[in-house]
Amino acid sequence: MNPVVTALLIPFLGTALGSAFVFFMKREMHPLLQKVLLGFASGVMVLDVVLG
């Protein structure tokens, strides 16, 4: 497979999987799970700023 296509598909699949998880949730998220996910997302953002 073309490396450019692979480089574009990996983030696309990750985003699609994450949005599907949120889209199909039927009830409110447990507060601990929400804190873990928000902490992970903020850590990724900080890492991007530091290494970007």
Tell me the pLDDT tens digit for each residue of 10-46. 889 988 888 888 788 778 888 898 899 889 989 888 9
| Residue 37 belongs to domain spanning | 3-51
Domain count, the chain: 1
More confident residue, 45 or 52: 45
Residues near 37 by Cβ (< 8 Å), separated by ≥ 6?
Answer: 29
Total residue count of the chain as it appears in this document? 52
Q: Output the pLDDT for position 32.
A: 93
Q: Output the pLDDT for position 11.
A: 86
Q: Output the pLDDT for position 25.
A: 78
pTM of the predicted model over 0.75? no
Upper half-sphere CA count for residue 31 (Cβ side, 13 Å): 0
